[in-house]
Amino acid sequence: MLAALAVLVLQTIDYLNFAIDDVFITLRVVENVAHGRGFVYNPGEFVEGYSNWLWVVLLSVPAVLSISQPATEFGLLWAAKILSYVFALGTISLTYFLARRLFSRSSLKDVFAWVAVLALVSCAPFVLWAMSGMETLACAFFFTLAVYIVTVIFSGNEPLHSVP
């Protein structure tokens, strides 16, 4: 567990300032949504300039709460990074519980679960995209959640809330 945490923290620090230009497209649309101009890149031009509707909606909440680019230069970018990282932490947690479920008949299920988590956080692209501010980790979270739910449905075992 400590190894996984150390790897995650070190990579997070290394990728802290990573941002790609695509995030700024989303943030501009978010600014327009937050100011009532609609889901557009340029006000008055009704052209859809985004491919991540849910991410735009989620980031519109902090933008409406005045955590926007004009108010704080990088406030909305950091809000996007934090939200992306929260989804990354959720994906890591779900990976632990999913691996534990998949190896539930083994006496080493906890070991296998931590190895799965260590493998995930050791994957540099995973942590890099967690710091990107993009919707990538939200997609990873919802995919992992769907896989976990399917294993619960088809295994007949106790659901996540009963796992100690």
Query: What is the residue-level pLDDT of the chain in tens, covering all 164 positions?
Result: 788 888 888 888 888 888 888 888 899 999 888 888 889 988 888 888 788 999 999 999 888 887 655 556 678 888 899 999 999 999 999 999 999 999 988 899 999 999 999 999 999 999 999 998 899 999 999 999 999 999 998 876 555 554 45
The pLDDT assigned to 44 comes to: 85
Taking the alpha carbons of 91, 93, 98, 99 in that order, is the dihedral positive or negative? positive
- Is the pTM here over 0.75, yes or no? yes
The pLDDT assigned to 72 comes to: 61
The pLDDT assigned to 64 comes to: 83
Residues contacting 131, CB < 8 A, separation 6+? 12, 15, 16, 18, 81, 84, 85
Residues contacting 80, CB < 8 A, separation 6+? 23, 26, 27, 59, 133, 134
